[in-house]
Amino acid sequence: MTVKYKRVLLKLSGESLMGDQKFGISAVMLRYYAQQIKELVDMDVEVAVVIGGGNIFRGLQAAASGIDRVQGDYMGMMATVINGMALQSAMEEIGLYTRLISAIEMKAIAEPYIRRRAIRHLEKGRVVIFSAGTGSPYFTTDSAAALRASEISADVILKGTRVDGIYTADPEKDPTATKFDKLTFAKVISLGLSVMDMTAFTLCQENNLPIIVFDINNADNLKRIVLGEAVGTLVEA
């Protein structure tokens, strides 16, 4: 079985962990993602994961709560560590070897981020979960995904969403929206499409790092993507 992408960074939103719940972490969704990742590892694909924290706390909510923006962003980073720990447990339960790496030092629960060590873990077949964003406020987990993917020389960022790609408008609100199968970075910017926030997107563009936006809720999609099938929307140079 020949894979097209040997090293991938999977970007998941914190909200995707909620399942049918209004907040928190769904055990069903944890098992689902763990199983999806295991399928890739069984194909000898090296997998890194960045997960958001929106199911617990989002930095941008802070202003409405009267919390300072910087403080709020750090709270959001902590939320991604909680999600990372939950996903780590779910993956280890089904026999995967994992490493939880945090951009903010917390020795008792996660390794500090050291680029060479993270790459070595991937080479040894361990799933690496990057948590705590970039370690700095004002950066989203999309930016963290773009940064870490660039640093570890990932072949692609796989951005799992609720829809099956990038559309001309939000397909959940506009039934006339049409889907793109392939786009260039320049086209995404000129059309004003929201794939990632601009900081993350520009980083991918500068490092010629392709992004595939796809429906994570279709159980076959991840496997099909790494085998080179056209799934979702591919954004490249």
Read off the CATH number of the domain in which 152 is found.
3.40.1160.10
| Number of separate domains in the chain | 1
Report the half-sphere exposure of 41 (CA within 13 A, side-chain side): 24
Give residue-wise pLDDT tens across range 68-126.
889 999 999 999 999 999 999 999 999 999 999 999 999 999 999 999 999 999 999 99
Residue 169 is assigned to a structural domain of this protein: no
Residue 62: pLDDT above 80? no
- Span 171-227, pLDDT tens digits: 888 889 899 999 999 999 888 888 888 999 999 999 999 999 999 999 999 999 999
The closest alpha carbon to 73, from 50, 51, 57, 49, belongs to 57
Within-domain flag for 93: yes
Q: What is the pLDDT of residue 192?
A: 86
pLDDT at 122: 98
Q: Tell me if 181 is assigned to some domain.
A: no
Residues 6+ apart with CB under 8 A from 131: 50, 51, 77, 80, 81, 83, 84, 100, 101, 102, 103, 110
**212, β-bridge pairs:** 158, 234
Residue 176 falls inside a structural domain: no
Is residue 203, in this structure, part of any structural domain at all?
no
Q: The tokens of 176 are what? A: 């006339």
- Residue 45, domain member (yes or no): yes
Owning domain of residue 88: 7-160+210-232
Is residue 44 one of the residues assigned to a domain?
yes
Crossing angle, helix 198-206 and helix 141-151, to 10 degrees? 10
Q: Is residue 220 part of a domain?
A: yes
Averaged pLDDT of the chain: 93
